[in-house]
Structure 1
């Protein structure tokens, strides 16, 4: 594995994958394979399973690279989203087998999102992004900001947030949905 390079062109590598040029996938693996494995390991906590998920993620990236839309986010973010979603789906499926409730899966998802953000915020693009997020959060009404922070920082389920905020569940869900839309608009 190579060290993370600020100069690596993720979008070009995805374009090569979309054109079925193997060097694109190889370059992505060399650039991000180890970090993808680390992210997936934190989610599934099983090395062999994490390796399988990274392998499956790379296959999905290869097969779906033409669906990447740079208007919706960065190429590197898209790659991590593919791997992370596969890992979370695996946890969800195993959770059903183990009887894990949806609230537990939602809390795990929120906690892992925050851990991923913490791990990557040192990068300049993440630092800039973090400042923009902070600015956009400050634009929300206090109760809506609290709902977002409880969900994505504390890892609370909608039910737990409703209890903490002493608000109806439907209201909390609406606040979160509307706040996410406002954040998305503010970030663009």
Structure 2
């Protein structure tokens, strides 16, 4: 059973009031969800309270999760992140305007932990798909799409006709697309 299937099963059992499933879900996901709360709120005590609120909501609303092919972690992360953001907004509204620091008003453009994890996963999948290509085609894809070489430059460097280079690259991209869709 995959981790995704395990979490889906735990959520289904929680929806039926299974406390052991709730405890198991907490053990498997709380560290990651706490990290999200901490990143949004920047305060350990606030993050702990937000995490507690998130798990109360999971207990009360586990029946709202629907198995639809999307990751149950995405559902949990979204729920937790929204709670943390709401808490942050409430605390900001309580602060007087002059107490706001410039850092409080600047948006954080860095990817969050969930985005970093998703990017790492996608990168690994892409590397796996690139390994499925013949080595010469994989090298051509790297040179064309990562290093910016033109088709003509690739043709000259490899001694392969220009139209053949175009065809190989198009087929390689189709193969990569199909591999990533699996």
Identify the TM-score tier after normalising by the shorter chain.
Answer: 0.5 to 0.7
Give the distance between the partners of 1:6 and 1:64, measured in 2 at CA. Answer: 23
How big is the shift at 1:19?
Answer: 0.5
- Look up the match of 2:3: 7
Unaligned runs of 5+ in 2: 127-180
Give me the CA root mean square deviation: 3.0
Give deviations 1:37-88, integer Å, cap 9, x for gaps.
1111011011011111111100100100001123383211111111111000
Normalised to the residue count of structure 1, the TM-score between the two structures is 0.54
Normalised to the residue count of structure 2, the TM-score between the two structures is 0.56
Give deviations 1:100-140, integer Å, cap 9, x for gaps.
6xxx77935xx47x2234431365368559xxxxxxxxxxx
Give the distance between the partners of 1:69 and 1:123, measured in 2 at CA. Answer: 26
- Which 4+ stretches in 1 moved above 4 angstroms? 125-129
- Look up the match of 1:92: 89
- Look up the match of 1:31: 28
Do structure 1's residue 17 and structure 2's residue 5 form an aligned pair? Answer: no
Instruction: Provide the aligned length of Structure 1 versus Structure 2.
Output: 120
DSSP-derived class of the 1:119 partner = helix
- Look up the match of 1:107: 107
- Look up the match of 1:63: 60
Q: Which has the larger radius of gyration?
A: 2
